Structures are given as C-alpha cells and as structure tokens.
Amino acid sequence: MMRLPPFRYLAPRSVAEAVRQLADHGPDAMVVAGGTDLYPNMKRRQFEPRVLVGLRGIRELAGIRGSARQGMVLAAGATLTQVSNHPEVLRHYPAVARAADLVSTPQLRNMGTIGGNVCVDTRCNYYNQSYAWRKAIGFCMKKDGDICLVAPGSDRCLAISSSDTAPVLWSLGASVRLVGPKGERVIPISALYQDDGIQYLTKAADEILTEIVLPPVDGLRATYWKLRRRGSFDFPVLGVGVALRMEGEVCREARIVLGAVASQPREAADAGRLLVGERLTPELIDRVAEAAAKPSKPLDNTDLVYHYRKRMTRVYVARALRELAGLPVGEFPLGMTARN
Amino acid sequence: MPEFLTLRVNGEPVQVIAPVHKTLLEVLREDLGLTGTKHGCELGECGTCTVLVDGEPVLSCLVLPVECQGQEILTVEGLAASGRLHPLQQAFAELGAAQCGYCIPGILLTSKALLDASPQPTRDEIREALAGNLCRCTGYTKILEAVELAALRMAGEERAAAGGLGARAAGQGGGR
Amino acid sequence: MSPKEELAVIGKPLPKVDAWEKVAGDTRFADDLFLPRMAYAKILRSCHPHALIKRIETSRARALPGVYAVITGADFPPVKFGIMPTSQDEEVLCTEKVRFVGDPVAAVAAVDEETAERATELIDVEYEVLPTIMSIEQALAQEKVRIHEYGDGPNIHKAVSLEFGDVEEAFRQAHLVREDVFYFEGNTHLPMEQHAAVARWGPDGKLTLWSSTQTPHYVHRAMAKVLGLPMSHVRVIATPNGGGFGGKSDPFSHEMVVARFAQLTGRPVKCTLTREEVFYCHRGRHPVLMWVKTGVTKTGEILGMHFRSWLDGGAYGSYGVASTYYTGVLQTSTYKVPVYKFEGMRVFTNKPPCGPKRGHGTPQPRYALECHLDKIAADLGLDPVELRRRQLVDEFSMTANHLTITTCGLGECIDKVVEASGWRDKFRKLPPGRGVGFAASAYITGAGLPIYWNKMPHSGVIVKIDRGGGVTVFCGSTDIGQGSDSVLAYVVAEVLGIAPEDIRVVTGDTDLTPVDLGSYSSRVTIMTGNAAKEAAEKLQGLLFDAAAKKLDVPPSALEARARRIFVRDDPDKGMSFPDAAQLAEAAYGTLAAAGSYTPPMRGGKFKGSGVGPTPAYSYSACVVEVAVDPETGEVRPVEIWIAHDVGRAINPLLVEGQVEGSIYMGLGEALMEEQVFRKGLHKIPSMLEYKSPTTLETPEIRTVLVETLDPEGPFGAKESGQGPLLPVIPAIANAVYDAVGVRVDEVPITPEKVLKGLDLRAQGKEPRVGPERVPAARFPEPIRVPLPGEDSTLEAQATIYRRAIHRREGPRS
Ligand SMILES: Cc1cc2nc3c(=O)[nH]c(=O)nc-3n(C[C@H](O)[C@H](O)[C@H](O)COP(=O)(O)OP(=O)(O)OC[C@H]3O[C@@H](n4cnc5c(N)ncnc54)[C@H](O)[C@@H]3O)c2cc1C
Ligand code: SF4
Ligand code: FES
Ligand code: FES
C-alpha cells in the first residue's frame, strides 16, 4: 500500500485563519484542497510537508455565483463536478464546464477543486514516479536532484503544465484572487503562471487562491479540446483552449491557449492575431492552426510520442476553431468523451 | 500523532484512534475491519477504493478521515440494508457481473450513486458514470447489463424485483 | 426432448456459487487477512538493471525501532527455484547479482508497513554495475555480457527448431510465396488485486501460507524446496484471486520472504506488493519478433509454412521454455498446413521476466499469422474469410506437427460471425475511415503434460455427502474469477440431482484438497470437471444401489433430479436426496469418493512434442469494425462480434463473461497496452500511464456461443478463458487496413503508427509500419519429424468418439 508520510493537519474555518497558519509554519506547510494532486505526490514523496492546511472546511471557499452579464465567480473550493454541472456555467461558459468535465474520472471530479486544478503541479514521467524509482534512475532537479533528465543541458525543469481548466480560463481572460499575509490581489490568470517546471506559479507560497473570476460573456464564445489516450483517467497531453469574441460573422478578439506543451499554458498570440477582423473560413482556420502549432514544443516526458503531439496541435486547434465556426468536426476523439 | 475521531460509517457512529495521515481506505480496512473496500493503486488511478461520502463516489485512498467528519460514509458492507441485498448486488450476482469481484465493491457504490441521481440511465450514461472504475475481468459488458437490470427492477418495471436471496432468482440472467 | 433439456444444471445461466459473497464484499482476498500480532514485510529491490552485489549492510535498518527482522539471500539455503524444472534460476533474494530493476535484494519485517518501508531505505547495498541488455538485438549481439550462465547459447535461454515435411519443396510448388515480419510489444496482466501473501509459522513447526496464487501446488513444491522443509509441513492456501490472467502462476519471492520471516519472528507476516512491484513481478506477454513465410496455391490453399520467432524473455526463465514452443505450435490447428517448419528462440534481457499471460505465447504468432493470411488474400484478390473457410482443419484429424484435433466448430463460428456482423455488406464497402477485419484462432484446453514430469493425475476431486444431504466438494483448483468453484458445484449437482447451492466447495488448500495443478492453460473446467464427474458418479452409484434396494427396482431404472432419487418411468416412486444418502451411508459406510483426471497421452515422439497437445481445441472467429480518424490516426473499435466454440457451455453466463473479458484484454493489447522501458527502467509502472481500457474504450461486444460437445470434456465442454482473446488483435489490424489501407505490422497499433502509414501512402510508398528486418537466423539444426501418415488408430478413435457422443447426447443438430 502506498502511504502518506506523517504530517499535522489543520482545519481552519476562514481564509484569514488559513493564511495565518500558512505564514506561521512557513515552508513546512502546504495547503490542501481536494488532495487529488497533492496526496498522490506526497505518497511518492514529491512533497513532504510537516503541516497541511486543509481548505475543505472554509465556507468562503465554496460556491459558484454571478451571471453572464456581470461575469461569474468560481470559488476555489468548488469541485470540478460542481463546476461542470452548474447550469449557469454550462449555459454561458460551456468551455469551462467541458474542461472541468474532461478532468480524470467522476470520482476525482467529485473531490478535486477548481482552485486545485488551476494550481495543479506540473508533470513529467521522470518525476511522477515513486521515490524508489526516482532514486534508481537518479533524482532530477524538480525533487531531490540537480539535473534535468529530459534535457540534461537544461538549467531549468521542463515539466509540463497539465491543468485542463487553465488554458480555457486564460483564453477567456479570467482572473484569480489571491489572499496572503500582506493582503489580497486580483491578477489575470495569465499572470499566475511562469514557464518553469518547479516554480510554475507566480503566487507566493503563503498566498491562497480564493476565487476565479470569469469576465462577462459579452459575445465570447469558447471551447476546449483535449488530447489523451483514454476517455477518462488521463491528464491532457495537449489541451487547446480557444475563445473568440464575435461580431456577427467577424472575429473581433481571439485567444488560443495551449495546455501541456510547456511548463505553463502557452498562448499562441500570433495565431490569435490572424483571426482578428476576419471571417472564420476553413482556409483561414488552417492557416491559424499552422501558426498556433509553432509555439508547441512538446518533449519526451509524457504519454504519446512528442512529434505526434506537436502534429496534433495543428489538428486540434483547427478542430476547436471549426467547432466555434459551426463547421463539421467529424467524430470527437476518444479523449473527448465528455457530456458537455 | 494518533487522533481520536468520530465518523459515521454505514449509518452508525464509529470511534477510531488513528494517526491523521492514514487515509480513509487504510482506516476502513485496518482499523475498522471493513475489508470490503479494496485497493489497486492507492494513487487515484483505478477507482477500486471508491466509497460514497454523502452519497457521492470518492476515492478512499485520497481522502483523510478528518476530512469526512460529520459526513455519511457508505461502504459495500453498508449496501445491503438490514441483511437484504441491494438490487444492484442482486443483479450483479445473477448476471455474472462479478468475475474475480475485486473491482465490484467500488463499481457497486459508483452505480448506486448513479441510480440515486438518475434512476433510468442510458447505457452511455452508465459508461460515463463508471469510467473511473477499472475492471480487468469482465470487459464491462455484464456490469453494464447488471446496472440496467437493477435500474429496471428498482423502477418496479420488472416483477422479478420480488425475487429473494440466492439462486432462486436465477435463470433470468443473460437476457438480451 | 433435445439433449440440452435433459440436463438440469449444466447449460443454465446460474449465478456463481461465490457470487453472493463477492457482491456483499465478503470475499477475503489475501490482503484482507489480518492476524493477531501480525508483522508487515517490505522488499528492497534492485535499482540497477544489471549489477553485481558487492556488499549488503543491514545494521542501520535493524536498529530502526519497530523492525523485527531484516533478511538477505544469505538467510536462505543456497537453492534456486523457478516454475520449470529446467529453468531453476531465481533466488528469493539475490546474493551475487541483480538482473533487472525490481529484482529482490533484501527484506524487512516490522510492526507496520511504514516502518518496514523506511527500514528498507536504510539498507545499504554496494553494487558493481554491469552493461545492460534491453532488447533482442542487444542480447544476440553482446555475447560477452551474460545475464545467465545457462541456456542454449550466450543470452539464449532456449532455441528450438522443428521441421515437419519439406517446406522448401512446398514453396517450390507454390503459386505464391509470401514473407512478412511482425513485432508484438510486451504487455502485462494488470490484475486489479496486487499480489499479497501471509505466512504463519505454528508452534508445531509447521508453516501455513495464504497467497493470491493461481498455482498453490507449484508454490507448495517451491516453498518446501527453498525453505528446506518437508512438503508435509507446509500448507499453501490459495486465497480467491482478484484477477490473475497468468500473472500469479509462478512461485514468487514475496511468498518465501513472509514464510522465512514467520519462522524467524514467530509472528504471522504479511507482504502486499505495491502496484509498481506488480509491474516488476510481471511474467506477462513476451515481446516477440516474428517472420513468417507461406506458400499457397492460386486459390489460396496453404502448401507449406515456415515460422520464426524471437522472444524477449526478460531476466529469468519462468515458463519461457513452454512460451517459446507456444509461439510455434498452434499455427497448424486452424487451417490445414500440410508441411510446417518452426524455429524459435528466447533471449534473456535485463527486464522483468516474461511468462504466461492469457493465451500464453500464442496471441503473438496468431496476430502475425492472421495478418499474413489477410495479405495473401489481398495478393490473390480473394475474400479473406473465404480463403480461410475453405481450408479448415478436419474434425478428428492430426496436424503436420502431430497435434490431435477432436471437435472443431470453427466453420460454424465463421458462418455465425460473418452473418451477425454483416461482413459481406461491409468488407471493402464501408466509407473511407471505416473498416472491418476478420481473424480466427484455436486454443488448447489444458496442457497435455504437467510442468514437472510425473505420472500422477493432473486433477483430483473428493466429494463427500453428509447425513443431511449436504455435499462438499474438495479440489486443489483456484478460482481466479473465472468461476472454477462454480463449475465443480454444477458438475456435481448435475450428477447427484441436487442444486448447486446445496454444495459447499473447498478449493486451493494443499492440506485439505487433492492436487489440481492450477489455474493455467485453460485446464480447469476440463480437468476438474472430469474428475468431479467421476467422483460424483461413484457416489451416485452408491446412492442408486441403496435406493434401488429399498424401492425394489434395478439401479438403472433410477434418476437423480430436483433433490430426489426416483424411478425414471414412475417419478412418484422415490425418495428425497437426504433419505437416499442415509440409506447409502447405512449400507456402505461414510459417503466419500475421489475422482481423478489425466489427459490422454498425445503428441509425437520427438523432443518438444510435449507443448501443444491437449485433450481438445477451442475455436473462435471474430469480426471487428473500426473507425479510423485520418487526421489523428486514432483507431476506435465500433463493435466486435465473436463466435466461440466452447464445446459445451457449462454455464453460458460464465462463458460469455470469459469471452467478453478476453475480447477486452485483446483490445487493450491491440491498441494501447505496452510494457516499455527507458534507461533500464520500466517507463510507466502505474495504472495511470499503463493504459488499460475503461468503459469508454470498450465497445459493444456481441458473443455467439457454438457447442460441439467434445467427447473429451465434461458434458462436452472445452475452454473459453483464453482462446477468444487471440483473434481480436489481428482482426483489429485487418480492420485498420480495410478502413485506411495501412498495414500496421506492430502491436500496439498506436495513432502515431497509423499516421505514419497514412503519410507513406500519401507519398506513394508502401503503406506499412512495422519491423524491417529480423536477426540473422542462428537456430539449431532442425529436428526433422516425419509427417503423421494416414493414422488408422486415430480414425478408429474418432469413430468411437462419434458413437460415444451419439449415445450420450443424441444426434448433433
Ligand atoms: C489519476 C489522476 C488523474 C488526473 N487527471 C487530471 C486531468 O485529466 N486533468 C487535470 O487537470 N488534472 C488531473 N488530475 C489532477 C487533479 O486531480 C486535479 O487537477 C484537481 O482539480 C486538483 O484539485 P485538488 O483540489 O484535488 O488539488 P490539491 O491536490 O488539493 O492541490 C493541488 C495543488 O494546489 C495547491 N492548492 C490547492 N488549492 C489551493 C488554493 N485554493 N490556493 C492555493 N493553492 C492551492 C495545493 O497546495 C497543491 O499544491 C488528476 C489526478 C489524478 C490522481
Ligand atoms: S523536466 Fe527534467 S527536471 Fe523537470 S521533472 Fe522532468 S526530468 Fe525532472
Ligand atoms: S486504490 Fe486505485 S484509486 Fe484508490
Ligand atoms: S471482476 Fe475482476 S477486476 Fe472486475
């Protein structure tokens, strides 16, 4: 049986109390929400916090509120199931519902939170292994070692951002509220990330993410496409979040954000620009998809061959755009077996 | 440090003294003797350890008992209310849906949650609900059929719902 | 009355006898056992794929509070073990050398698992690292690096070569001679239950081991050997297995470790493997490289076939000698192959040992053969089904390699599956991206020989009747989910005229039950079934004699049914089963009887003839429809139709369950499951990254059962647990070809391989993805075996069979 290392468990009743506890214990402490990312990692000893600050009992962190007109707020503690089943989210932000619904399995979505999903650890198949396995191959810099086994010349860790919801949230222009000992701040979600497999979040360790703020819908149309082998369990090995603001037939604003191609969600800004002021013709879509695939630089550290994943970037971006343009997309791939 | 905890398991309050870092799976099996809950990975990757917490399927290998205090925990041992098998259990037994049976406690509980929320699911809905429970024996076919049969019986559309324990209800299986 | 209706229990879709406890969560698997004062063991495993052990220092581990004992290989007598007598190459804990990452090196018993685990990390092992061998090519090229000192050559565990008739001559006669090369990547069983074992050392100096094993008898032997104990002081109890599929058929290190710890500490000791360790125990599907050459006539009749296979065996022997032969023997069991040559070779590599997985050694060559025939059909412009249908083996015949075929329902299977799938309207007629593929196969119903040479029965059953009419059946077999306990109950219930629920089945306990060799090679239904039938018939004789006296009729006038024994022509005249039991016990003493089963001695008189013969072959035919996405290369099975000749379905529900489970496993192997390595380590030893299909990847499966009532089987039964896996994989490959014109000659058929094929096609190149070449043949001189002549004894036997069937079952419709 894989077991957790020992720790103390604190159950604060408010965000303020949680922030205080985090500050009190400094680097010894970590927050845990659903635990679906942190506990497996702790069992493999990627993290060995002495103190866990559990967020489950905090009322403020529960619930989904707001409207299409004003924008919606997803509290960090909302489970992925709550997000994907919420009638308003489903109606007005179907891409968010779909991304949440495409995470792993029903059980994990009942446990995992949207806040945890946004903060989910980066992944690498040299790293998501047991302690004994990592010791056998030689520890890498993300934990216990000092080199990168995927790219031995690299001075930073190249583990992959693997959140399903982050690319969509970024494409929609969502923001996150962070609360720390020095107060709170709201930043665009794009500013939450940085391209470093270890320090993939810009948030301070003692800051708690309390909510995700979705902008008013206002003509935004978005979708999410996910590449993986199976229709459940599997993390994305490529995620494509696309949001367009349409004025009639013409695209006024476009954001294409790729997941699982770098240590952070990666916006294909050049490709997005090609869409602005244009109609979504099949020809344009192909050109945009071609451009979007450029920043996609997968490495050999997750499932499926990396050149295949690179090649699929073009296909998946094209299909996502075709879906938004109302063009036929063929059968949905197996990895997309979702209700939404 | 061992902690003193009060949980509600299968409708009864139980007291446990266990270190806080023991998962619900470990406490159920090792401290409460409820070995009906199985495990295949302990990392959230197979669904074998599924139990219901307040009616929702969760993975007992990734949840701590402290996190379930005040909630209703249901394990396979609690599925047969007062000694009568749940219609799902009855249907699984009759249709041969349990081969080695190792994945079955988790699958029964996930299926119960499904039928409680959606009493007449389509086959695709059942597939989606069970997409987080691996089974290596059955190819899922008989499992899907058993959930359908249980749903029918629970809806009272099948007279055989009156069938009791044991092989008396046998022979109704295999219908397709 | 049709013969089927005459039977009260056999052929009925009854629940399994253990179904109720399984759905109630009551079944006690090995890890569910908790004994008072129990200690927990953990094994330290090698972190190098290939290294010499220089020194093991355990003092820091011993000093950790809560640790009861630490052992290394030095704590065992210096004997090696292994499942095959010729491959005794494993140590409980390695003493001199480790051969793969995961090889056991030392072990700790402690107050709990956490402590045991922490202590293993305090054991210091000094290694001298050796060069590693990770592929068939490397094994053959690096003669200086030797993983083992024994075998048929440097890093060659086994090399065989058999020739039945002159293949070269056959090729000269042929209208078309085709050669193909295929590769089948290794994969693993992934039973949901991780292996576990509990040992207890009694104050009487005797050992009890509970283990999730498919082969308690072989574990019993290995245990006694390794621990230096008399077999009579060792009791092995096979707990219900949470899935096996062949992965729990070897004696394992952790079983011996808990036993030694129990001796040393005087406590019960448990060891439950983690999922990662289960990947290291492995014994799964061998990676096999294959070359096949066949000569056919203009109309596709096979004139001769030459098959070569190279198996990547991993670090130890396991069942490998048998596996090697199995990649070559069953090619002749479906279609007439008048002349046949087989050369096979198993090499050692620094990976977890391969062994028997569902279909043991035959899915790989079946994949090669069925794709090869598909290509031949395409070359000749023939329908691939027709090509095969025309040249099926005859019933009651003998193959070129001296295999005896009894019943064969393959023709009927093909017809049924072609009909059900709408093959004729689909093959070459579906829109682009959609396709259908066909394949057929055969599988053994139990091996003709035991693992170690002896003349004793392969299966024994004792049936006992108590005064209240309760019946207990004792048998050494192990239920791994396939329903073998239920089969025992059904057979005995049928003969004694009672209901299966009146029977208690006691199995898999070397103290209580007579030997059965284990749950492997699809032997359990036929062997335990026949033994149980014999035992029950002896008791039926006693009951009938006693009842006949009382009723004053001849025993032959009696029938047993519905818990009564009565006069067949005057059913009111009779008595209850318990009354008959009491009369019989009064007349003859305690009511118990034993039955035994030994398979018929068959096969030729040449070295290697022991693998392949079986009492009877099962047959399957399969059609798969797939959708292939031309942009992503993704292959989605849409629907699968299979017809399986099971001889007789003792319980159609359980047979369907075996068929569906086999299809599922074949599907995973065909499309996504693969055991791959990087830098000497298993790349993905987890349930998340080793891709096992979920409900969403498993399509609708349509099963048709075909019954041929084989004279060898109990009530005519053959097998269903393994055979139906075989045709699925080639049928999918052939369907992909029908859908997009790409040949993927390498399993698994991943999206990137399909895309590569599509690219080649777009470039006007041969749209084939797969291995390009095979190693230079270094096989031994072939043993030249004369073809079986017109064998008169066989024909005579066949006539007897046919008469026997007719008498027992009535004419076959
Ligand atoms: C088998 C398996 C499959 C998975 N598949 C997917 C998948 O397909 N897609 C996917 O996106 N994810 C997947 N996951 C990862 C994970 O389950 C989800 O991302 C989930 O949403 C994480 O949420 P959580 O609440 O459980 O996070 P936790 O495990 O509680 O936390 C994750 C991390 O975020 C931090 N954190 C959590 N909440 C906050 C907060 N409010 N403020 C600050 N920091 C916080 C924690 O400290 C921790 O570092 C999978 C996990 C497993 C085990
Ligand atoms: S990318 Fe390199 S450093 Fe980062 S986890 Fe993988 S191997 Fe380690
Ligand atoms: S044991 Fe596998 S998901 Fe919990
Ligand atoms: S019945 Fe064996 S794993 Fe599902």
Distance CA C258, CA C270 (A): 6
* Number of domains composing chain C: 3
State both tokens at B50.
């599924």
Cα distance between residue A189 and residue A173, in whole Å: 7
Question: Residue B160: pLDDT above 50?
Answer: no
The proportion of chain C whose per-residue pLDDT surpasses 70, expressed as a percent, equals 96
Q: Measured between beta carbons, which residues in chain B are less than 8 angstroms from residue A339?
A: 128
Assigned domain for A265 exists: yes
**Does some domain include residue A124?**
no
Domain span at residue A235 reads 62-119+160-325
pLDDT tier at C808, thresholds 50, 70, 90: very low
- Chain C, nearest residue to A6 by Cα: C114
Which numbered ligand comes closest to the C-alpha of A36?
1
Cβ-Cβ contacts under 8 Å, B20 against chain A: 7-9
pLDDT-based confidence at residue A201 (cuts at 50, 70, 90): very high
Same domain membership, residue C126 and residue C69? yes
Q: Do A79 and A199 belong together in one domain?
A: yes
Q: Six-digit token pair at B148?
A: 């359908």
Instruction: Say if residue A39 is in the same domain as residue A86.
Output: no
Residue A34, domain CATH? 3.30.43.10
Q: pLDDT averaged over chain A?
A: 96
Pocket test for ligand 1, best of B42, B45, B59, B63 (most atoms within 8 A of CB): B45
Nearest-CA residue for ligand 4 atom 4 is B135
Q: How many CB atoms lie within 10 A of CB C452?
A: 12
Q: Is residue C494 part of a domain?
A: yes
Q: Provide the mean pLDDT of chain B.
A: 90
Instruction: Report CB contact under 8 Å: B20, A8.
Output: yes
**Cβ contact (<8 Å) for A232 and B41?**
no
* Nearest residue of B to residue C8, measured between CA atoms: B171
Do you find a cis peptide bond into C748, omega within 30 degrees of 0? yes
* CA-wise closest residue to C42 among C135, C109, C142, C121: C109
Using a 10 angstrom Cβ sphere, with 0-12 exposed, 13-18 middle and 19 or more buried, the burial of residue C514 is: buried
Identify whether C561 is part of a domain.
yes
At residue B165, the pLDDT reads 37
What gap in Å lies between CA C123 and CA C93, rounded to an integer? 14
Residues A67 and A206 placed together within one structural domain of the fold: yes
Arithmetic mean of pLDDT, B6-23:
97
Sign of the alpha-carbon torsion through C205, C208, C209, C213: positive
User: In whole angstroms, what is the distance from residue C652 CA to residue B175 CA?
Assistant: 11
Looking at residue C797, its pLDDT comes to: 55
C648 inside domain: yes
Integer CA distances (angstroms), B52 to A61, A99, B103, C502, in order: 23, 24, 15, 35
Ligand 3, CB within 6 Å, residue ranges = B 39-42, 44-49, 59, 61
Any idea where the domains of chain B sit in the sequence? 2-78, 87-168
A176 with A37, same domain: the answer is no
The amino acid occupying position A207 is: E
Contact criterion met (CB below 8 Å) for C471 and C503: yes
Written as six digits, the tokens of A328 are 């036929």
Q: Does B131 touch chain C (CB under 8 A)?
A: yes
Query: Residue A139 domain-assigned?
Result: no
Q: Are strands C51-57 and C124-129 parallel, antiparallel or unpaired?
A: antiparallel
**3 state SS for C150-198:** CCCECCEEEEEEEEECCHHHHHHHCCEEEEEEEEECCECCCCCCCCEEE
8 Å CB contact of B138 and C657: yes
The count of other CB atoms within 10 Å of the CB of residue B116 is: 12
Judged by CB atoms closer than 8 Å, whether chains meet at C16 and B96 is answered as yes
DSSP for C449-490 reads: S-SS---S-SEEEEEEE-TTS-EEEEE----SSS-HHHHHHH
The secondary element (H helix, E strand) that includes residue C115 is helix C113-121
Q: Using the beta-carbon criterion (under 8 Å), do A230 and C48 form an inter-chain contact?
A: no
**Both C651 and C719 in a single domain?**
yes
Q: Confirm if A7 and A38 have CB atoms less than 8 A apart.
A: no
Partner C, chain B 110-129, Cβ-Cβ below 8 Å: 126-128
Residue C149 falls inside a structural domain: no
Mean pLDDT is lowest, of B15-24, C273-282, C769-778, C785-794, for C785-794
- According to the CATH classification, is domain B2-78 in 3.40.50.10540? no
- Inside any domain, residue A107: yes
Q: Are A32 and A7 in contact (CB under 8 A)?
A: no
Quick one: A47 and A178 in the same domain? Answer: no
Residue of C nearest to A132 (CA): C47
Whole-Å CA distances, A225 to A236, B125, C637: 9, 21, 21
Q: Which residues of C touch A (CB under 8 A)?
A: 45, 47-48, 101, 113-114, 117, 272, 274-276, 627, 629, 631-634, 636, 672, 679, 681, 683-686, 688-689, 691, 693-694, 696-697, 750-752, 755
- Closest residue in B to C666 (Cα) is B139
**What CA–CA distance (Å, rounded) separates C680 from A250?**
55
Residue B171 has pLDDT above 50, yes or no: no
Q: Does C653 touch chain B (CB under 8 A)?
A: yes
Chain A contact set for C114 (CB, 8 A): 3
pLDDT digits (tens, 9 = 90+) for C667-719: 999 999 999 999 999 999 999 999 999 999 999 999 999 999 999 999 999 99
Predicted pLDDT at C794: 53
Write out the H or E segment, with its range, that includes residue B6. strand B2-9
Q: How does pLDDT run across C568-613, given as a tens digit for each residue?
A: 999 999 999 999 999 999 999 999 999 999 999 898 899 999 999 9
- Residue C197, both tokens: 């074992």
Cβ–Cβ contact B128 with A under 8 A: yes
Q: Considering the domain boundaries, does residue A136 fall inside one?
A: no
Instruction: Mark whether A260 and A219 lie in a shared domain.
Output: yes
Which pLDDT score is estimated for B175?
A: 32
Chain A residues with CB-CB distance to C under 8 A?
1-3, 125, 128-130, 132-133, 135-137, 229-235, 303-305, 307-308, 311-312, 315, 330-331, 333-334, 337
Whole-number Å distance between alpha carbons of C480 and A304? 33
Question: C805 pLDDT exceeds 70?
Answer: no
Q: Do B42 and A1 touch (CB under 8 A)?
A: yes
Q: How many domains does chain A have?
A: 2
Put simply, the chain B residues between 88 and 107 with a CB less than 8 A from any chain C CB are 88-90, 92-96, 98-105
pLDDT tops 60 at residue C3: no
State which H helix or E strand residue B169 sits in.
Answer: none
Nearest to B53 by CA among B84, B102, B15, B7: B7
Question: Do both C513 and C629 map to the same domain?
Answer: no
What is the tens place of the pLDDT at every residue in C234-276? 999 999 999 999 999 999 999 999 999 999 999 999 999 999 9
Cβ distance A130 to C634 less than 8 Å, yes or no, reads: no
Q: Do A53 and A94 have their domain in common?
A: no
Residue B161 in this model has a pLDDT that exceeds 50: no
Which CATH number do you get for residue C256? 3.90.1170.50
| Structure tokens that stand for C118 in this block | 């922490």
Specify whether the CB–CB gap between C349 and C134 falls below 8 A.
yes
Q: What is the pLDDT of residue B82?
A: 80
Q: What is the C-alpha separation between C516 and A119, in angstroms, rounded?
A: 55
Q: Among B23, B26, B37, B39, which residue has the most ligand 3 atoms within 8 Å of its CB, making it the best to mutate?
A: B39
Which residues in chain C are closer than 8 Å to A290, comparing Cβ atoms? none
Residues with beta carbon inside 6 Å of ligand 4? B 98-104, 135-138; C 192, 243, 481
pLDDT at res. B169: 38
Instruction: Looking at the complex, report in whole angstroms how far the Cα of residue A175 sits from the nearest Cα belonging to chain C.
Output: 31
pLDDT tens sequence across C483-541: 999 999 999 999 999 999 999 999 999 999 999 999 999 999 999 999 999 999 999 99
CATH code of residue A276:
3.30.465.10
Give the closest of B45, B76, B102 to C687, CB-based: B45
pLDDT tens readout for residues C337-355: 999 999 999 999 999 999 9
C-alpha distance across the termini of chain C, in Å: 13
Specify whether A50 is located in the same domain as A175.
no
In this structure, the answer to whether residues C572 and C678 fall within a common structural domain is no
Q: What is the pLDDT of residues C265-321, one digit of tens each?
A: 999 999 999 999 999 999 999 999 999 999 999 999 999 999 999 999 999 999 999
C175 occurs within a structural domain: no
Query: Residue B1's pLDDT is what?
Result: 72
Check: CB of residue B62 under 8 Å from CB of residue B23.
yes
Assigned domain for A211 exists: yes
Angle between helix C577-588 and helix C524-551 axes, rounded to 10 deg: 80
Residues 6+ apart with CB under 8 A from A17: none
Same domain, C342 and C234: no
pLDDT in tens, B92-134: 999 999 999 999 999 999 999 999 999 999 999 999 999 999 9
Mean pLDDT of A119-136: 97
Statement: residue C792 has pLDDT above 70: no
Does residue C565 share a domain with residue C629? no
Last residue of a domain, which of A41, A59, A77? A59
Q: Of all helices (H) and strands (E), which one includes residue B28?
A: none
Beta-sheet pairing, B56-59 with B50-53:
antiparallel
Residue-level pLDDT at C802: 53
Chains that touch C (3 or more CB pairs under 8 A): A, B
* Same domain, residue pair A207 and A239: yes
For residue C793, is it within any domain?
A: no
Picking from A59, A84, A100, the residue at the C-terminal end of a domain is: A59
Mean pLDDT of all residues belonging to chain C: 95
CB-based contact C636 A3, cutoff 8 Å:
no
- Give, in words, the CATH class of B87-168: mainly alpha
For residue B41, list chain C residues with Cβ-Cβ distance below 8 A: 275, 686-688
The reply to whether C83 and C224 lie within a common domain is yes
Is C694 within the bounds of a domain? yes
Same domain, C123 and C237: yes
Whichever domain contains C691, its CATH number is: 3.30.365.10
Residue A22 forms part of a structural domain: yes
What is the average per-residue pLDDT within C89-101? 98
**Interval A68-76 mean pLDDT:** 97
CB contact under 8 A, B20 and A7: yes
pLDDT at A297: 84
Say if residue C503 is in the same domain as residue C634. no
pLDDT at B166 exceeding the cut of 60: no
Q: Report CB contact under 8 Å: A5, B21.
A: yes
Domain boundary among A59, A77, A94: A59
In this prediction, the answer to ipTM > 0.95 reads yes
* Calpha distance A332→A287 (Å, rounded): 22
Q: The pTM is what?
A: 0.96
Same domain, yes or no: C474 and C579: yes
Structural domain of C573: 4-27+457-597
C283 contact partners, CB below 8 Å, separation of at least 6: C189, C246, C247, C249, C250, C318, C319, C352, C353, C354, C355, C356, C357
pLDDT for res C541 = 98
pLDDT over 90 percentage in chain C: 95
Interchain CB contact of B33 with C (< 8 Å)? yes
What are the pLDDT digits (tens) for A18-35? 999 999 999 999 999 999
Q: Is residue C408 part of a domain?
A: yes
